[in-house]
Structure 1
Amino acid sequence: MKGEKGPDEKPVEVKLPKVFGIRPGVYLSVIYALVVIALLFVLLLLPGIKNPGEKVTIDSLPPGAAVLLDGRYIGATPLTDFIKKGSHSLILKKKGYQFDEQELITGGRLFASLFIPKKSHHEIQYRVVDSDEVFADLFSQLSGYALIDTYRENYQAPPLITPVFSDMVKIGTLSTEDLYDMLYRLTPNISNETILHDFYHAFILLKKHDGIEFASEREGLSLLIQEAAEATGVDPGLLALSFGKEEKPEAIRLNYPDMNHAGGTILSDEPRPEPSSLNLGGIRFASVSGGSFMAGDPSTTGPTLPFDRAARTSLPIKASVSGFYMATREVTVGDYRAFLRDHPEWIPEKRDDLMASGVADEEYLSDWAAGGKFHDLPDDTPLSGVSWFAAQAFCQWLEDTLPASMRDSWEVRLPSETEWELAALRNGTPRAVFADTEAQVLPARFERQGKLGIADLEGNLWEWTANWYLPLDRIYQASGVALDLPKGWKGAERVVRGGSWANRSDLVSIYEKASQEPQWCTPFLGFRPIIAAKPTGQ
């Protein structure tokens, strides 16, 4: 049967031979022991011999400093990393702070370093060498997050304000009075509940440092609004409305008789600059008379709820503008070709260098180059695909061609928002190029010129302006306060006006305000320069 042994079957015995007269039981035990010893050596001793070092933790006050070890970036503080045994150069870098290079000497553990490495902790405190640079960097970061009115649950702005002020209090370089001053300079970017919460907690931190505490958040916010209004000159009612803490906007309107005038109302006129037109670099400039007017949407008579981005940007404000000259058309491909002949650093082939410098992106003049050669675009094609920085460089180049009689007192630059809007008001509303009319960018033509002879302020291409987009800039202007950023401070995006061929005409008007990062280049955005009197004392 299956499984039964036959009569001739015998069990098989396996015997290991002796080796050098040593019985198998002995030499197998020795082999097993050697394997265990080798394994222990590999795990417990070899790492400490082959790669000696220690696990180093580097903290800094404030955190977020770049760590360079022997000239190589290894991360940002707080940082934990394995560093080989020896003497190393340690440098920490952070804007506005200074840290002297120091020697970092690391040791190591021979036994079990793979499992129980030697550890050390280094906490390093900076010296503040340029507090203004610290706060300028904070303002710029905050401006990016301030572009959003409401955050989703899965995407929130990180706390930016409170950590900086907490670090500054600990370091103790600045007085509390100076810290309050810096805090209130951030006010133009307090555009949503998340940033307001961060702003408020930094305020509470400073008050606690002064030994002041509040019975309720309402009490603390009330004092914050009062002190911020006093520091900035902004009306406290408008500030409370912007912070979402005012529920009666009609009461605020009573404080502003100018708000009885609708946006788009000319309040006073100044004579037009003479002569009535100029020609510079092949571009005709039309004279635009100055004066005061109500900037903002005519359909809006004052602050409304919710006081969101749309309500803030359409808020009517009284603006005063001196006379200037504006290009009667957008800068064209032909104009820019002339600029590139004098400034080859801006040619499309230099795009990588421009991107590395942060003054353009990968779309810079993307319509111009194909296979390394220029497209044969007609000279009168309105120029698009240029950054704000490129537009600035063009204006500076054009300024060098001003007549000798104008060079001391006039400049060529991008228009401010209010200059652009006043020119559009005085020019009227001629036929425009939008998605529901032409749906493509077109050269300037006589039939699209307005009363001043200016074409395509509405439609065709969005146009760069000189202004940073700051969410609360209108409430500053409505309060009669000029919002001038300190030198070196900047926002995240520049204001663009006018709409483009890709927009529907019923969705964009001369009062519409949008924004773009200054290095961005798109097929929907161009620019036109103005010639304006230099500021007094310049």
Structure 2
Amino acid sequence: MKRHIELPQVKEVQLPHFLGMRPGIYILTLLIVAIVLLIFLIGFLPGILKGGRYVTFTSPLAHTGVTVDGKYLGGTPYQFFVPSGEHELTFTKGGIPVASTTLHVDHPLFLTSLIHRTDKLEADISALTEQQVRAINRFNIQEVIETSAITEFDDIHPYPPVFKTLVQDAVAMGMDGQTVQNSFALAANFITSPAMLADALEAKEGLHSPSKLVEATLEAAKRLFDDATTAEVGLLGTEHPLQGKQTTLKSKGFEQAGITYPSSSFVMGTKVPFIFPETNKTGITVETPAFTIATTPVSQYQWALFIEDNPKWDKNQVDVLQQNNLTDEFYLSGILPSVVFATGKPVHNVSYKAAEAFCAWLSEKTGKEVFIPTEAMWTLAALQARDKTYTRSLTITDDDRTAPIAMLGGVWEFTQTPYIPLQRVTGYQEVATLYQTFAHSSAVIVKGGSYLNAPSSVDLHTVGAVDTTACGDLIGFRIAWND
């Protein structure tokens, strides 16, 4: 039998009335208000405070920049939040405007914090001019050139598919087939790594009937990066002695001894293993017109004369020169060219662009065409001086003016020849013509080594490369001219 438990008596609890309303009424009212407030806070307030849409911008061109109301957002394809209203939108490729439009974005309100309102917009490139198409193509080839300076890639510095981009953009812009083939052929001559080769081979599939030069260049590139190859390439060089004529370039305080050589055909380079970068020295037959080359590099005193007539090239203008992409921050570092304390030491820490300005000044001053010699001209002159000893300092003591002095040692010397890595094993003249056609800016070849290099490590066929704005402690130049 269960025991009966008596519970204590408890008074009934009665909720008070509020504003004359019974508890059930105002509690229900409070619940409704709370629910409405919650719906407002979650469903509407975010949309009121931050109205707009997440717009996915795309473009037929690879990696196209997106600028909204003058503010750069990033590159395509990507999604960005754009506030509601009207916005001025510009698509750019390599700094080149390719499409502009007014973007209208409405103001969605409900549940925008939970459900993103999206939109899509693709760049309309149908109105591209021929000039814009050429500029974009040049930019893409320049990207290949700059990528070629890197020979190893990893997860931190991944390889950018520059050849894929080149072909994709060319097709999207409707470029004619021959221009696409020539662009690809030139770009393929800058392959310097297995990653670039793999990209180029894949991108080639987007070409319609690749040209013979494209096929030959890619085949050469395959051989260059085949570690098992034992093949050699190139012609053996010869001494090629020439009878030069001594002359002097003079004008108002400026004087430079030189030697004039007749037009000639000879082998530049030698036979080398078919492996990159040894192929930079591949022996090929080249031709040079008649020209005169300075017996010595441009001196610090001669550079001081240049500055005296052109104050904008003074050392104290380095910030402006750097901003104008003419030099780097090391311009004339460590030297003080002077017209009072004359020195015959080679000028150094000047850029290729600065050297071009020097030649332009001297051309105007003398009335003769003064220029930086080509690699072939420099090599022909060096062949005439091959019996001279390696210059182991910046002080030139050789008084023999029957042949150029300090061609090996002293300072590396600029040539006007662009550095195109595979040019000597593909089609030297054909590639040079393509380079001029597309007017690109790559590194230029430097020759001769410096006084700090071991003589056994440098010969007259050794090829170096340097950016046209770079200034180096061990880099100078000598001039050439036409009488």
Residues 309-329 of structure 1 show CA distances to partners (whole Å, capped at 9, x for unaligned) of: 12x122222222233222232
Q: Distance in 2 between matches of 1:82 and 1:100?
A: 20
Match of 2:375 in 1: 417
Q: Which amino acid aligns with 2:267?
A: M
Match of 1:145 in 2: 147
SS at match of 1:62: coil
Residues 342-379 of structure 1 show CA distances to partners (whole Å, capped at 9, x for unaligned) of: 3233233332332222222122223358xxxx999954
Match of 1:304 in 2: 273
Match of 1:135 in 2: 137
Q: Which amino acid aligns with 2:112?
A: S
1:399 positional shift: 0.6
Q: Distance in 2 between matches of 1:458 and 1:342?
A: 31
Match of 1:186 in 2: 187
Change over 3 Å in CA distance of 1:156–1:317 after alignment to 2: farther
Contact 1:346 1:354 in 2 (8 A): yes
Aligned residues: 459
Q: Distance in 2 between matches of 1:61 and 1:333?
A: 52
Q: Which amino acid aligns with 1:51?
A: K
Residues 508-538 of structure 1 show CA distances to partners (whole Å, capped at 9, x for unaligned) of: 22221111111111212112211136xxxxx
Which moves more between the two structures, 109-118 or 40-49?
A: 40-49
Match of 1:387 in 2: 351
Match of 2:398 in 1: 448
Match of 1:5 in 2: none
Contact 2:259 2:403 in 1 (8 A): no
Contact 1:288 1:423 in 2 (8 A): no
1:169 positional shift: 2.9
1:19 positional shift: 12
Change over 3 Å in CA distance of 1:433–1:277 after alignment to 2: same
Q: How does 1:99-498 map to 2 (within 5 A)?
A: 99-127=98-126, 128-129=128-129, 130=131, 131-148=133-150, 155-171=157-173, 173-207=174-208, 227-229=211-213, 241-242=223-224, 244=226, 249=231, 259=235, 262-266=236-240, 269=242, 272-273=244-245, 276-280=247-251, 282-290=254-262, 291-296=264-269, 300=270, 302-305=271-274, 307-310=275-278, 312-367=279-334, 378-380=341-343, 381-403=345-367, 407=368, 411-434=369-392, 438=393, 442-444=394-396, 447-450=397-400, 452=402, 454-476=404-426, 481=430, 483-484=432-433, 485-498=435-448
1:235 positional shift: 9.6
Contact 1:368 1:375 in 2 (8 A): no
Please list every run of 5 or more consecutive structure 1 residues that lacks an aligned counterpart in the other structure: 1-17, 211-223, 254-258, 534-538
1:187 positional shift: 3.5
Q: Distance in 2 between matches of 1:147 and 1:391?
A: 23
Contact 1:184 1:228 in 2 (8 A): no
Q: Which amino acid aligns with 2:257?
A: F
With the length of structure 2 as denominator, give the TM-score of the two structures: 0.81
Match of 2:9 in 1: none
Contact 1:333 1:383 in 2 (8 A): yes
1:20 positional shift: 9.3
Q: Which amino acid aligns with 1:114?
A: S
Q: Distance in 2 between matches of 1:476 and 1:34?
A: 80
Match of 2:10 in 1: none
Contact 2:65 2:93 in 1 (8 A): yes
Match of 2:471 in 1: 521
Q: Distance in 2 between matches of 1:329 and 1:125?
A: 57
Q: Distance in 1 between matches of 2:146 and 2:325?
A: 16
Q: Among residues 451, 455, 461, which one is paired with 1:505 in the alignment?
A: 455
Change over 3 Å in CA distance of 1:120–1:148 after alignment to 2: closer
With the length of structure 1 as denominator, give the TM-score of the two structures: 0.74
Change over 3 Å in CA distance of 1:31–1:102 after alignment to 2: same
Q: Which amino acid aligns with 1:75?
A: G
Contact 1:189 1:472 in 2 (8 A): yes
1:83 positional shift: 1.5
1:106 positional shift: 0.8
SS at match of 1:110: coil
